[in-house]
Amino acid sequence: MRTLTATIRAMGCVTAPMLIATAALAQDNVDRSAQGEVAVTIYNNNLALVQDVRQITVPAGRSRQEFPDVSAQIRPETVTLAGAGLGVVEQNFDYDLLSPDKLMEKAVGKIVTIVRTNPATGAETREQARVLAANGGIVLQIGQRIEVLRDDGLPVRVVFDRVPENLRARPTLSVTVDATREGPVSARLSYLTPGLGWTSDYVALFDEVKNAIDMQGWVTLTNNTGTSFANAKTLLVAGAVGGGQNRFAALSDSLEAAGTESGTRERLGDFYLYPLAQRTTIANAQQKQVSFLDVKGAPARKAYEFVNGWLGASDVPQSATTAIKFSTSRDGGLGDQLPAGTIRVYLRDARGEPQFIGETRIDHTPMGSAMALRIGEAFDVKVKTIVEERTKLSNRRWQTKMRYTVTNARPAPVVVDLAQSGLYGDVRIAAQSITGERVSADRIEWKVPVPANGTIDVTATFDTRY
C-alpha cells in the first residue's frame, strides 16, 4: 500500500486560490521573521534559553495573541510572557505544521474538490468529494461511489477552500492575555528549548623544532529546533546546568594539574560566559562556527610517558605514549580557560606541512592548568618491565625488585616520564637507581634520559607491608 505522502505527490496536490495566497503570505513571513529582538543563551547540554521581545498591540480586556516563529521544540511549561499591564490567562502551542499530509488528515469528513485533467485534450473535470480516510492512502466518497486515489499516471489534484485553523505554516504559541488597557505593548517572551547547543573544538599546531604550539578555538553552534533565530544576541555558557544530559561519557586524563588562576571572562555563578561579539542569525538545520581563541607560539614540549601497573611484568616491550605538554596559564601558556571539547593536534612534517597526528577530549579546564595531550603510541620508544626478584620477608611483608628497560631507536636523545603506579597500602621505596618523585601515595615517577639509539635500565626495590 502506498504511503499518504506518496499518494499526495502522485496526485500533484495543489490548493485553491485562497490557499495559494495563504502559502505566499507564509513564505513572505518566513523571509520576514515574526520574531522581535532575540537573545539566545545556549548551554553545553543541548538546552537554550530564548528571550524574544516583540511589539504587540492589544485591546483592553481579554484577547488572543499569536507568536509565530517560536522553537518547534519549545517546552511550553517554561514559557513566561511579561509586559506592562498584561496578565496571562491561557496559552497553547500549535505544533501541527502545514503540509500536504496534514491537509489531507484534517480534511477527513469534509468536502474537497477533485480536479482531473485529460492528458489528450487538457480539459479539466471537477467533482465534489468527501474525504473518508487518509491513513496510508486517500479514500473518497464521490456521489454514490467510493474511490481510492492511486498513482495511475493521470494528472489529479485536490483543491481545498481554506487552511484548517489549527494548522500553522510555522510553530506558533498562542496566548490569551488580559490587558488593563489597549494599545502597543513591549512583550518579552521567554522559554527553554532543546535542539540548540554548542560545542568547543580546538586545532593545535605543534612545532617540535621550536617547542611551541599554536591553538585555535572554535565554537560550533548547532540548531535543530525547527526554527531560525534571526539577528540574535548570542551568549554561550560553558558548563552543563542542572538537568543536563549531554556530558561526555568518558573524558581523557589530559588535565595533569588543575590551575588556580582567575581570568577576566564574565561568570554566571560557577559557569563562564562566552558572548559572541556581534549579533548573528542561527539558521535551522545549520552548524555555525565562531572563533573564540587564537594563540600563537605558546611554549610546549613533546614528552614520552609510560605507566606500569601494580608491580607487574610485561612479556614484550611496550610502546611509550606520546604527549604534547603545555600550560593554560597567563604567563607562559594559553592564558585562558578552555571549555570542554575536542582538541585535534597537527605536527609539521619535514616539508613544513601540517599533518594530523591525533585528537583527545578535554573537560572544562581552569586557567593555569598543566595539560598533556596524549595523541598516540611511540613507534621507536619502548619499555619492558621485569620483576627481577620478589621475596617474602614475613607474613605481612614482601620485597619486590623491579627493572625497567627503556629503549630509544630515534636518532636523538629523549626523556621518558616513567611511572610505577598501584603502590597501594604501605609501600616504601627501599632503593632506586635514579631519584624519582613520589607524586601520590600510590605512584612514583622518574624522568629517564635515554640516549639516541640507546638503552637505559632503571631499577627500584619496593618494600610492601600489609
**Residue 445 grid coordinates:** 615517577
Rounded percentage of the chain residues whose pLDDT exceeds 90 = 50
Partners of 63 in the β-ladder? 177
| 350 compared with 435, residue with greater pLDDT | 435
Partners of 151 in the β-ladder? none
Q: Beta-strand (E) ranges in 329-413?
A: 341-348, 354-362, 370-394, 397-408
| Residue-wise pLDDT tens digits, 354-390 | 999 999 999 888 899 999 999 889 999 999 999 999 9
| Residue-wise pLDDT tens digits, 151-206 | 666 678 888 877 777 666 678 888 889 999 999 999 999 999 999 999 999 999 99
pLDDT computed for residue 429 by the predictor: 95
Q: Does the residue 296 lie in any domain? A: no
Beta-strand pair 341-348/354-362: antiparallel
Same domain, 308 and 448: yes
pTM, entire model:
0.67
The domain total for the chain is 2
pLDDT-derived band at 325, boundaries 50, 70, 90:
very high
Q: CB within 8 A of 357, min separation 6: which ones?
A: 345, 346, 347, 375, 376
Same domain, 147 and 7: yes
Q: Does the residue 132 lie in any domain? A: yes
Residue ending a domain, choose from 194, 212, 241: 194
Rounded to whole angstroms, the Cα distance separating 164 from 167 reads 6
Rounded to whole angstroms, the Cα distance separating 16 from 207 reads 67
Same domain, 32 and 167: yes
pLDDT-derived band at 242, boundaries 50, 70, 90:
low
Rounded to whole angstroms, the Cα distance separating 391 from 414 reads 34
Q: How far is CA 52 from the centre of its chain?
A: 23
Mean pLDDT over 93-114 rounds to: 75
pLDDT-derived band at 253, boundaries 50, 70, 90:
low
Using CA atoms, how far residue 465 sits from 395, 397, 400, in Å, is: 9, 4, 11
Handedness of CA 151, 152, 155, 161 (dihedral sign): negative
Q: Does the residue 354 lie in any domain? A: yes
Which phi and psi (to 5°) does residue 192 adopt?
-100, 145
The yes-or-no verdict on residue 117 having pLDDT over 80 is yes
Rounded to whole angstroms, the Cα distance separating 460 from 431 reads 5
Residue ending a domain, choose from 194, 213, 243: 194
SS3 percent helix, strand, coil of the chain, rounded to 5, is 5, 60, 35
pLDDT computed for residue 152 by the predictor: 63
The 10 Å CB-count burial string (b at 16+, else e) for 68-82 is bbbbbbbeeeebebe
Contact of 292 with 341, CB cutoff 8 Å: no
pLDDT computed for residue 249 by the predictor: 37
**pLDDT averaged over the chain?**
85
Handedness of CA 117, 121, 123, 129 (dihedral sign): negative
pLDDT computed for residue 456 by the predictor: 97
Least confident interval from 51-60, 109-118, 233-242? 233-242
Mean pLDDT over 402-428 rounds to: 95
Q: Does the residue 108 lie in any domain? A: yes
| 261 compared with 125, residue with greater pLDDT | 125
Q: Does the residue 438 lie in any domain? A: yes
Q: Does the residue 203 lie in any domain? A: no
Domain that holds residue 421: 301-465
Same domain, 330 and 458: yes
Rounded to whole angstroms, the Cα distance separating 109 from 112 reads 10
Burial degree of 125 (CB within 10 A; 0-12, 13-18, 19+)? exposed
Q: Does the residue 224 lie in any domain? A: no
Q: CB within 8 A of 198, min separation 6: which ones?
A: 42, 44, 219, 220, 221, 222, 236
Mean pLDDT over 251-280 rounds to: 75
Q: Does the residue 289 lie in any domain? A: no
pLDDT-derived band at 447, boundaries 50, 70, 90:
very high
The yes-or-no verdict on residue 137 having pLDDT over 70 is yes
Residue ending a domain, choose from 162, 194, 226: 194
pLDDT-derived band at 6, boundaries 50, 70, 90:
very low
